[in-house]
């Protein structure tokens, strides 16, 4: 089996209107079509679509056209829901109803995996046990709907839970329709070793966010972006070992480059960082083939 390489929509969040207070405004804006064309130019194997950046997501015809473009370029598709806080640790029933509505949107694009968010950085200091119990109940209901659509959910570790806690959640639900969107950087930000996490979670992984990170000087370690994104290969994550573990687990998805807060060493140029990351991941995949 040869691993696949892709990119995530969220790499370009600044260009879609979400600029963090610590970031400069982008030099231009992007449309969904710009993102799709960039992915096609890179000839990646897969893309993630972030629902929050698709204002016409309730337009079935539009999403089918997007799905046709993706299929024509022989790319796999993951539909992403839940930014920024998702189910809020299982407390937000309205968001749960929004989440299950998105299965229809995902199906219209041809996605077979939907990335979902159970909790987030905002709730990481709240007790984790009650969050995991609430989320276990919610996802245990949602997997029945997922099965009807034949779309698997991949819950993202969202600077909220360690790999042990994610394992507890997935095994608590105990369904092939709930797995993991494995985010390397978000584990590292909790000082939860992503490679040790992959050793336990690779077999449950349905989608990925391959982030590489290094420390940003002058930023408090209490800030989530203290560990800021670099192009893959320039940071602390052992991406080759990660890829090997996923390959050994017969991972069927793609290694999706994600950048959320680009380290200032890289001149706020997400496009260049994504290009370099794709090149590095392709080299890793080639070496492992």
pLDDT in tens, the chain (289 residues): 799 999 999 999 999 999 999 999 999 999 999 999 999 999 999 999 999 999 899 999 999 999 999 999 999 999 999 999 999 999 999 999 999 999 999 999 999 999 999 999 999 999 999 999 999 999 999 999 999 999 999 999 999 999 999 999 999 999 999 999 999 999 999 999 999 999 999 999 999 999 999 999 999 999 999 999 999 999 999 999 999 999 999 999 999 999 999 999 999 999 999 999 999 999 999 999 9
Instruction: Give residue 134's Cα distance to chain centre.
Output: 22
Tokens matching residue 25? 């405004």
Say what the pLDDT of residue 132 is: 98
CB-based contacts of 111, cutoff 8 Å, min separation 6: 49, 67, 77, 78, 79, 151
Say what the pLDDT of residue 279 is: 98
Tokens matching residue 259? 């950048």
Say what the pLDDT of residue 1 is: 77
Beta bridge partner(s), residue 214: 228
Beta bridge partner(s), residue 113: 78, 152
CB-based contacts of 77, cutoff 8 Å, min separation 6: 46, 47, 48, 49, 67, 70, 109, 110, 111, 112
Other beta carbons within 10 angstroms of residue 56's beta carbon come to: 11
Structural domains of the chain, with CATH = 4-288 (3.20.20.150)
Closest residue by Cα to residue 46 from 2, 7, 1: 7
Tokens matching residue 220? 């408090």
The helix/strand/coil state of 92 is coil
The helix/strand/coil state of 127 is coil
d(CA 92, CA 103) in angstroms, rounded, equals: 18
Burial annotation 20-35 (CB, 10 A radius, 16+ → b, else e): eeeeeebeeebebeeb
């Amino acid at each position: 089996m040869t691993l696949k390489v892709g990119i995530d929509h969220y790499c370009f969040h600044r260009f879609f209107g979400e600029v963090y207070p610590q970031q400069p405004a982008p030099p231009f804006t992007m449309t969904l079509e710009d993102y799709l064309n960039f992915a096609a130019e890179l000839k990646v194997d897969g893309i993630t679509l972030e629902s929050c950046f698709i204002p016409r997501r309730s337009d079935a015809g539009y999403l089918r056209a997007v799905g046709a473009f993706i299929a024509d370029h022989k790319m796999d598709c993951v539909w992403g829901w839940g930014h920024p806080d998702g189910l809020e640790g299982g407390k937000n029933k309205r968001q749960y109803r929004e989440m299950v509505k998105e299965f229809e949107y995902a199906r219209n694009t041809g996605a077979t995996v939907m990335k979902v968010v159970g909790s987030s950085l905002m709730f990481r200091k709240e007790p984790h046990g009650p969050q995991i119990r609430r989320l276990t109940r919610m996802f245990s209901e949602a997997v029945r709907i997922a099965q009807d659509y034949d779309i698997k959910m991949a819950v993202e570790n969202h600077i909220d839970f360690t790999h042990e806690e994610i394992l507890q959640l997935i095994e608590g639900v105990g369904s092939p329709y709930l797995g993991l969107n494995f985010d390397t950087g978000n584990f590292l930000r909790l000082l939860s070793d992503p490679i040790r996490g992959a050793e336990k979670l690779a077999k449950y992984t349905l989608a990925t966010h391959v982030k590489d990170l290094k420390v940003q000087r002058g930023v408090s370690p209490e800030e989530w972006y203290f560990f800021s994104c670099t192009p893959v290969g320039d940071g602390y994550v052992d991406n080759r070992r990660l890829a090997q573990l996923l390959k050994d687990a017969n991972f069927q998805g793609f290694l999706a480059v994600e950048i959320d807060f680009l380290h200032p060493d890289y001149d706020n140029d997400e496009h260049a960082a994504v290009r370099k990351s794709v090149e590095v991941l392709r080299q890793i995949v080639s070496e492992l083939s």
